[in-house]
Amino acid sequence: MAKQPPAERYIPNALKFAFGGLSGMAATCVVQPLDLIKTRMQLGGGNKSSFTVGKEIIAKEGLLAIYSGLSAGLLRQATYTTTRLGVFNYLFDTYKETNKTAPGFGIKTLMGVAAGSIGAFVGTPAEVALIRMTADGRLPKEQRRNYKNVADALLRIIREEGVLKLWRGATPTVARAMVVNAAQLGTYSQAREMFLALVPDGIGLHFCASMVSGLITTIASMPVDIIKTRIQNAAKGQSQVTVVTDLLRKEGVLSLWKGFLPYYARLGPHTVLTFIFLEQMNAAYFKYTAQ
């Protein structure tokens, strides 16, 4: 009698969400300084290099300042990344089970958009706290918010501005996430399939696919990311329309793509590390759990 092929193994849905969040949090611990520099450059309006901005932060605020906002960054990953990767993997597996074949690139892109928009809405409060905490050091001392940690930031925003302000800039945040996830999740999966014929499955394959995914995502998402950052850091009472029109009038349309290299320096490694950590967690689950 011929041997039956082994049944395809699946990771439980709850673990998909958990692995997604943990992989994003692990990546954030590595790239938080780059996220800080990226935010400062988006808010600064000048032409300083990322190296200059980094040196100024250390000189004026101390070495530990490069990890300003880490607690908010971790909460953002625990909410946003957990949700988006979990939803994407759930949709991917559901489609595969229903149609007995993997989804094509177009379907993957739509799944990425859906997963990103849901994740972004869930993660917006942490995003607001992150932007404010990473931006605080560039302000004069008397104007700083001086949030102690992400919990303090969220509680003070609710107390001083109202609970709805936790979702300030939710529209551009969701729009950015739709663009990022359409590009990142769809292109990563597609690039992984393309590189699989050239690179053995493993960290090397994950790195190559992630670098391609990160590059395309950076090009597509920079304009909405800059708008999102400016809105979430705006002073109380300043409307979103005013923030956007001031940006375009004073700095021009091309400012929406200003700082491409520092943006990719953050997004590229984070994309690489997130997917590498995620793939390793998936592999460990299959290795150490019974059939």
AA letter at 13: N
Euclidean distance between CA atoms 228 and 246, whole angstroms: 14
| CATH number reported for the structural domain that contains residue 276 in this entry | 1.50.40.10
Inter-axis angle of helices 170-195 and 203-232, nearest 10: 170
Contacts by 154-158 with C-beta closer than 8 Å and gap 24+?
154/125, 154/126, 154/129, 157/125, 157/128, 157/129
In a domain, 32, yes or no: yes
Residue 30 identity (one-letter amino acid): V
Query: How many residues can be counted in the chain?
Result: 291
Residue 22: inside a domain, yes or no? yes
pLDDT of the residue at 150: 95
Whole-number pLDDT of residue 120: 92
- Give the count of beta carbons closer than 10 Å to the beta carbon of residue 268: 21
Intervals of the chain under pLDDT 50: 1-7
As for how many domains the chain has, the answer is 1
Task: Give the pLDDT confidence score for residue 4 in this predicted structure.
Answer: 46
Whole-model pTM: value is 0.75
- Who contacts 256 (Cβ-Cβ below 8 Å, separation ≥6)? 222, 223, 226, 227, 247
Full residue range of the structural domain in which residue 133 is found: 13-285
Please check whether residue 1 lies inside any domain of the structure. Answer: no
Q: What's the pLDDT score for residue 45?
A: 58
Amino acid 123: pLDDT: 93
- Tell me, what's the pLDDT at 133? 93
85-112 residue pLDDT tens: 788 888 988 898 899 888 887 888 888 8
Three-class SS state of 235 = coil
> With contact defined as beta carbons under 8 Å apart, do 155 and 169 qualify?
no
Cα distances from 12 to residues 9, 16, 176, 271, 282, in angstroms, run 10, 6, 29, 23, 11
pLDDT, residue 72, reads: 95
> Which tokens sit at 132?
């404010």
What are the pLDDT digits (tens) for 180-211?
Answer: 877 776 788 788 888 988 888 877 887 888 78
Q: Is residue 7 part of a domain?
A: no
Write down the pLDDT at residue 46.
66
Position 77 in a domain: yes
Residue 4 in domain? no
In this prediction, residue 290 carries a pLDDT of 55
- Is 6 within a domain? no
E strand or H helix at 138: none
pLDDT digits (tens, 9 = 90+) for 23-41: 989 999 988 998 888 888 8
Q: Flag whether 291 is in a domain.
A: no
Nearest partner of 231 among 34, 39, 78, judged by Cα: 39
